[in-house]
Amino acid sequence: ASLFGHVEPAPKDPILGVTEAFLADPSPDKVNVGVGAYRDDNGKPVVLECVREAERRIAGNLNMEYLPMGGSIKMIEESLKLAYGEDSDFIKDKRIAAVQALSGTGACRLFADFQRRFLPNSQIYIPTPTWSNHHNIWRDAQVPQRTFTYYHPESRGLDFAGLMDDIKNAPNGSFFLLHACAHNPTGVDPTEEQWREISYQFKIKNHFPFFDMAYQGFASGDPERDAKAIRIFLEDGHQIGCAQSYAKNMGLYGQRAGCLSILCEDEMQAVSVKSQLQQIARPMYSNPPVHGALVVSIILNDPELKSLWLKEVKGMADRIIGMRKALRENLEGLGSPLSWDHITNQIGMFCYSGMTPEQVDRLTNEYHIYMTRNGRISMAGVTTGNVAYLANAIHEVTK
Ligand code: PMP
């Protein structure tokens, strides 16, 4: 028997596998609403103008030295201001342990490894459903997983009562993974009032909230507004963890620019926690990549570039919000008797359509429309040019 003879092919990733199938389809009509990457109205990938300008400023000036183990200090500083607020006392008091991470995925994984190492008896509560990779991340970090109620299939909205029950019924001091905004895959977020109630109940139960914030700015078009949930928890005096990603809101997908932060009790604790996070990163990848971090810190540190970024991130969010409206109107215009209100009620990159796996299979096989079998439509792949085609196909398979 050969050395690797027992190695079976790994199951396809449910999200990345969709793109492979799309690329292999020769049909000129094909539509990819699978992967969550922004496209312009011509279906083309976008590099933001603020990013192009930051790169012009970097060109010629960048040496290729290593960043410190914890990553770019400047990038971390700017990231914390974005998440915790420009004038946050937690930043001034140096209570936040933060390191640059390999985008949002890397930030989650670093936290999961930290959790495993220093709270070996803890579990993580993950919403049902969630971004499929969350399960892989905490599984590989060997942290036991529990789930909590989140989505209400009938209303295609939040199951708030179920969510609150699960928070109450979890053992005191449990770890919860919360999507800070633009929940993936459902596009369903709690309202501000509901966040306040969740935070209140967390306080009673002494739970620890870990916010995965992969879409700050991308949901509403305003990064401050999208940070509201985190700010509510901060006001209420929680310690929190936070994973930030610049993949979507700056379009830096492949640059792997992100940040992991943990709000500690005091500065001394933050110093210890940061040093341990670095210690976890060291044998895995030593230190994070420099280019994306520099792009981020240049943009956020320069008032002019930052306002250009704010304009551009709002432009992306607005295009998506516009496409939600167009998709819904097209379906209603075709005389679909079903309710499509949820398309415009949901927020962020995705529409959790409520279509069954069989209906999705028909979309793919009969209409060359590619998406994950859970019925999740990446709204970023919808354009003025394909929205009518998409609506018609959805109408046909949901009749
Ligand atoms: N969390 C959620 C909820 C996401 O949707 C994503 C992107 N699909 C990520 C984290 C991480 O993405 P990245 O590692 O590219 O920042």
- For 57-88, write each residue's pLDDT tens digit: 999 777 889 999 999 999 999 999 999 999 99
Query: What SS3 class is residue 96?
Result: strand
Q: How far is the CA of 332 from the centre of ligand 1 (A)?
A: 32
Q: Measured between alpha carbons, how far is 259 from 244 in angstroms, rounded to an integer?
A: 5
Residues with a known catalytic role: 131, 212, 248
pLDDT of residue 12: 83
Does residue 219 have its Cβ closer than 6 Å to ligand 1? no
CB-based contact 221:165 (threshold 8 Å): no
Closest alpha carbon to 115 in 235, 310, 276: 276
Amino acid at residue number 5: G
Helix orientation angle between 192-205 and 228-235, rounded to the nearest 10 degrees: 40
pLDDT of residue 321: 96
280 phi, psi to nearest 5 deg: -75, -40
Helix orientation angle between 49-58 and 303-333, rounded to the nearest 10 degrees: 150
| Interface ipTM > 0.95 | yes
Q: Measured between alpha carbons, how far is 299 from 289 in angstroms, rounded to an integer?
A: 17
Phi-psi region of 206 (alpha: psi -120 to 50; beta: other; left: phi over 0): left
pLDDT of residue 383: 96
CB-based contact 373:361 (threshold 8 Å): yes
pLDDT of residue 348: 93
CB-based contact 291:124 (threshold 8 Å): no
Q: Measured between alpha carbons, how far is 385 from 247 in angstroms, rounded to an integer?
A: 25
Tens place of pLDDT per residue across the chain (399 aa): 799 999 999 988 878 889 999 999 999 999 999 988 999 999 999 999 999 999 999 997 778 899 999 999 999 999 999 999 999 999 999 999 999 999 999 999 999 999 999 999 999 999 999 999 999 999 999 999 999 999 999 999 999 999 999 999 999 999 999 999 999 999 999 999 999 999 999 999 999 999 999 999 999 999 999 999 999 999 999 999 999 999 999 999 999 999 999 999 999 999 999 999 999 999 999 999 999 999 999 999 999 999 999 999 999 999 999 999 999 999 999 999 999 999 999 999 999 999 999 999 999 999 999 999 999 999 999 999 999 999 999 999 999
Nearest CA to ligand 1 atom 5: 184
- Residue 178 pairs with which residues in a beta bridge? 211
Q: Which of 124, 131, 255, 347 to mutate to test the pocket of ligand 1 (most atoms within 8 A of CB)?
A: 131
pLDDT of residue 152: 96
Please report where in the chains the tokens 């928890």 appear, as a residue: 233
Does residue 184 have its Cβ closer than 6 Å to ligand 1? yes
- Residue 286 pairs with which residues in a beta bridge? none
- Structure token digits, residue 43: 């279906």
With 0.80 as the threshold, say if the pTM is over it.
yes
Supply the DSSP string of 183-238, one letter for each residue: -TTT-----HHHHHHHHHHHHHHT-EEEEEES-TTTTTS-HHHHTHHHHHHHHTT-
- Structure token digits, residue 225: 């507004």
Q: Which of 35, 184, 211, 255 to mutate to test the pocket of ligand 1 (most atoms within 8 A of CB)?
A: 184
pLDDT of residue 248: 97
pLDDT of residue 60: 78
Specify the length of the chain in residues: 399
Nearest CA to ligand 1 atom 11: 104
- Structure token digits, residue 64: 């290729």
